[in-house]
């Protein structure tokens, strides 16, 4: 890890924010940024009180700002009441913006649908009325397992309108992962689609829901609402299943937004941690929405005339905050895309930016890296063939961006006119935390630069003491912020121990290592726990290990990450079978079986790229697997570390060879 850090910290190029942006930005220039930071420091409660009052519409005003009495279970604005969907939709319609386009949906096969704010509000109301008619109400929990679609946004917003807590499961997760989430969250409603369409292929969704039900524990689910995307064949349980269009049919066009407490859980989103069991990250209503809205305004310098496009899926936090909630609360026009960047070819993103005159483009470094490669092999897909002059601001999220990819994005996509906001944040933080501001912060390729106003990010040692500048340490946040995680669903003890360990003085522990340079810029060094980042998706090594050892052939498995040019990190699995160590074709066949198995247990994103078989795993005399050695071996490097404590040194040689 340390080599990688040093090379990024050696990056000395600095790119100033373009003058045109500085002149018009909400936060204009570094001095304005610093003034805002200081204003918050000077009057923390006053600042947040003013923001919450001005930015949100309340059904019952709050009188308390931050309640720290039960820390780390912080509460924000907790005696106030509001409705999140009313803040995203009704507010704009009431302000005369009903005709403005809210969503520009582009399907996999490039059919485009425009949905205005007034139309979106009507659809949300009709669907919410339909859900209500089925007997659902505030406090219920719904699983949403849907493709990228207008309907997914409608489903999330309709839940928010009724105070139903949603838990979206990414459509790429397996039936098993879905079942675990249905059970853990205690869902009584599942909203899904018949199939999803990506890259010209259809992938079944409803059948996965049926498989999840068959696995048991889902009896609390009374209804499954199905959006008909393709008309593909599905099994039908007359008592339980109902089409989304039938739920909406004959419903009134208006639906009174239900008042919820500020701290009412808006959603629970599962993410990987350092154990085998994903954590249900619980977010509140008011604080989360405020942070989603403010960060859209600050980081993307949102303007009424923008055409904004975030390429994430609503199954991830980025899709929650920067598709379903933030941009709508800000009243933006946004593109919602069903497909993948490489279909029908790798110029799809550039074509779409051109077609929809996108001003603000937000994507993942993995996508950029794969499009760089594609443009090298097929020059026709290079962004230079497209009119990208509408672009104003570029953004990245989810993983570190290497300086080469940053430069390509900056030059070839942004034509050296557009700042890149490299946004560091997490499922748990609700929204951006450390990022350049497009009209204020000089950029260094590979650094997420400076914390947003109000975010007390710092780097500390094991005892919570500040590390000296230039040294690495744990990335923490010293003070609460409105968008922060409120709990782990059903596991408050794990919430406290994972994020607020006692030795760290009550700071929020992000789980990333970081360094600061002489300008105070943050450089993220990667996870300090057993969490991998594959194509910007979080994955626990223990999750993959549990999946592998649940296969009948496997006795033991250890999973590590290896740097990968395209996906950032790749999964490497070291496996000991119950039978003899396989070789040759047999090893290849078993590796394929295990890869498919992991795909079915978790989802295709978790499939190990490389599987190696050993007679054993490298262990200390006390039986502990030495993962740091496996990381070296996975990279194909020579083991130079001290291996004197290793029980079985010869095993390293066996594991060094890919099959
Ligand atoms: C990593 C995604 C470097 C980090 C929003 C974090 C990043 C994890 C960046 C959260 C960035 C996210 N630079 N690393 N700009 N953004 N990460 O919960 O390790 O899916 O802890 O949230 O992604 O992943 P999550």
Question: Looking at ligand 1, which atom is closest to the CA of residue 526?
Answer: 19
Beta-sheet strands, E only, within 481-605? 487-488, 508-516, 522-527, 531-534, 537-540, 554-564, 568-577
Ligand 1 and 403: CB distance under 6 A: no
Q: What is the pLDDT of residues 382-427, one digit of tens each?
A: 999 999 999 999 999 999 999 999 999 999 999 999 999 999 999 9
Give me ligand 1 centre to Cα 404, in Å.
19
- Atom 7 of ligand 1, residue of closest alpha carbon: 399
Mutational test site, ligand 1, from 11, 428, 533, 567, max ligand atoms within 8 Å of CB? 533
pLDDT of 502 strictly over 80: yes
Q: What is the pLDDT of residues 433-445, one digit of tens each?
A: 999 999 999 999 9
Say how many C-beta atoms besides its own lie within 10 A of residue 76's C-beta: 27
Could you tell me the two tokens for 550? 């649940």
Beta-sheet strands, E only, within 83-125? 101-106, 112-116
Q: What is the pLDDT of residues 470-488, one digit of tens each?
A: 889 999 999 999 999 999 9
Neighbour-count burial of 382, counting CB atoms closer than 10 A to its CB (0-12 exposed, 13-18 middle, 19+ buried): middle
Confidence of residue 648 (pLDDT cuts 50, 70, 90): confident
Report, as an integer, the average pLDDT of 486-504.
97
Question: Looking at ligand 1, which atom is closest to the CA of residue 423?
Answer: 15
Say how many C-beta atoms besides its own lie within 10 A of residue 23's C-beta: 10
Ligand 1 and 365: CB distance under 6 A: no
Alpha-carbon separation of residue 611 from 197, 326, 374, 620, 658 (angstroms)? 30, 41, 27, 22, 7
Give me ligand 1 centre to Cα 2, in Å.
18
Average pLDDT, the chain: 96
Question: Looking at ligand 1, which atom is closest to the CA of residue 538?
Answer: 20
Could you tell me the two tokens for 409? 């994005």
Confidence of residue 8 (pLDDT cuts 50, 70, 90): low
* The residue count for the chain: 659
Confidence of residue 496 (pLDDT cuts 50, 70, 90): very high
What is the maximal distance between C-alpha atoms in the chain? 74
Q: Are 293 and 287 in contact (CB under 8 A)?
A: no
Mutational test site, ligand 1, from 433, 524, 527, max ligand atoms within 8 Å of CB? 524
Confidence of residue 641 (pLDDT cuts 50, 70, 90): confident
Q: What is the pLDDT of residues 593-615, one digit of tens each?
A: 999 999 999 999 999 999 999 99
- Atom 22 of ligand 1, residue of closest alpha carbon: 426
Give me ligand 1 centre to Cα 533, in Å.
8
Answering whether pTM is above 0.85, one says: yes
pLDDT of 7 strictly over 80: no
Could you tell me the two tokens for 435? 């990022």
Give me ligand 1 centre to Cα 501, in Å.
20
Alpha-carbon separation of residue 361 from 388, 414, 541 (angstroms)? 11, 10, 31
Question: Looking at ligand 1, which atom is closest to the CA of residue 396?
Answer: 15
Q: Does residue 550 or residue 6 have the better pLDDT?
A: 550
- Atom 15 of ligand 1, residue of closest alpha carbon: 424
Ligand 1 and 482: CB distance under 6 A: no
Question: Looking at ligand 1, which atom is closest to the CA of residue 448?
Answer: 15
| Chain-centroid distance, C-alpha 377 | 30
Give me ligand 1 centre to Cα 10, in Å.
22
């Amino acid at each position: 890890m340390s080599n990688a850090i040093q090379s990024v910290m050696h990056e000395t190029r600095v790119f100033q924010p373009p003058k045109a942006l500085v002149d018009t930005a909400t936060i204009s220039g570094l001095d304005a940024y610093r003034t805002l930071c200081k204003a918050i420091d000077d009057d923390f409660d006053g600042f947040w009180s003013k923001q919450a009052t001005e930015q949100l519409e309340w059904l019952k005003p709050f009188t308390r700002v931050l309640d720290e009495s039960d820390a780390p279970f912080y509460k924000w604005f907790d005696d106030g009441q509001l409705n999140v969907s009313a803040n995203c939709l009704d507010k704009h319609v009431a302000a005369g913006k009903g005709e403005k386009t809210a969503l520009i949906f582009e399907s996999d096969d490039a059919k485009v649908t425009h949905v205005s704010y007034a139309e979106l509000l009507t659809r949300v109301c009709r669907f919410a009325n339909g859900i209500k008619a089925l007997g659902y109400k505030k406090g219920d929990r719904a699983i949403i397992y849907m493709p990228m679609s207008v309907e997914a946004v409608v489903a999330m917003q309709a839940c928010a309108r009724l105070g139903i807590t949603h838990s979206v499961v990414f459509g790429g997760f397996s039936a098993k992962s879905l079942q675990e989430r249905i059970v853990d969250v205690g869902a009584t409603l599942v909203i899904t689609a018949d199939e999803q369409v990506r890259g010209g292929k259809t992938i079944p969704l409803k059948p996965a829901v049926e498989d999840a039900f068959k696995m048991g524990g889902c009896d609390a689910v009374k209804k499954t609402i199905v959006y008909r995307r393709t008309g593909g064949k599905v099994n039908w349980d007359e008592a339980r299943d109902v089409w989304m269009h039938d739920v909406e049919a004959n419903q009134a066009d208006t639906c009174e937004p239900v008042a919820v407490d500020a701290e009412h859980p808006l959603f629970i989103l599962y993410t990987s941690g350092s154990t085998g069991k994903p954590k249900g990250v619980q977010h509140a209503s008011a604080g989360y929405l405020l942070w989603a809205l403010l960060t859209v305004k600050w980081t993307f310098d949102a303007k009424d005339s923008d055409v904004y496009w975030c390429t994430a899926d609503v199954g991830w936090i980025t899709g929650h905050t920067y598709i379903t909630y933030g941009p709508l609360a800000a009243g933006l026009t946004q593109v919602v895309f069903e497909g993948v960047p490489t279909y029908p070819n790798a110029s799809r993103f550039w074509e779409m930016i051109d077609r929809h005159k996108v001003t603000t483009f937000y994507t993942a470094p993995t996508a950029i890296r794969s499009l760089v490669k594609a443009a090298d092999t097929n020059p026709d897909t290079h962004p230079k063939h497209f009119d990208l002059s509408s672009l104003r601001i570029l953004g990245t999220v989810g993983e570190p961006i290497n300086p080469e990819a940053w430069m390509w994005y900056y030059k070839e996509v942004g034509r050296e006119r557009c700042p890149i906001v490299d946004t560091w944040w997490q499922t748990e933080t609700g929204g951006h935390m450390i990022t350049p501001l497009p009209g204020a912060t000089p950029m260094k390729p590979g650094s997420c630069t400076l914390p947003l106003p109000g975010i007390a990010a710092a780097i500390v040692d094991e005892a919570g003491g500040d590390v000296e500048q230039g040294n690495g340490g744990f990335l923490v946040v010293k003070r609460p912020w409105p968008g922060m995680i409120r709990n782990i669903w059903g596991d408050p003890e794990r919430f406290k121990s994972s994020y607020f360990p006692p030795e760290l003085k009550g700071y929020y522990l992000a789980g990333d290592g970081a360094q600061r340079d002489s300008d105070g810029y943050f450089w993220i060094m990667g996870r300090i726990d057993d969490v991998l980042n594959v194509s910007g998706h979080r994955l626990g090594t223990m999750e993959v290990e549990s999946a592998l050892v649940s296969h009948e052939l496997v006795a033991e498995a250890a999973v590590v990450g290896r740097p990968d040019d395209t996906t950032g990190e790749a999964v490497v699995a070291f496996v000991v079978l119950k039978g003899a160590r396989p070789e040759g074709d047999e090893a290849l066949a078993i590796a394929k079986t295990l890869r498919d198995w992991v795909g079915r247990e978790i989802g295709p994103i978790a499939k190990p790229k490389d599987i190696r078989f050993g007679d054993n795993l490298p262990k200390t005399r006390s039986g502990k697997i030495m993962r740091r050695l496996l990381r070296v071996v996975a990279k194909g490097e020579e083991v130079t570390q001290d291996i004197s404590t290793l029980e079985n040194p010869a095993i390293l040689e066996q594991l060094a060879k890919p099959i």
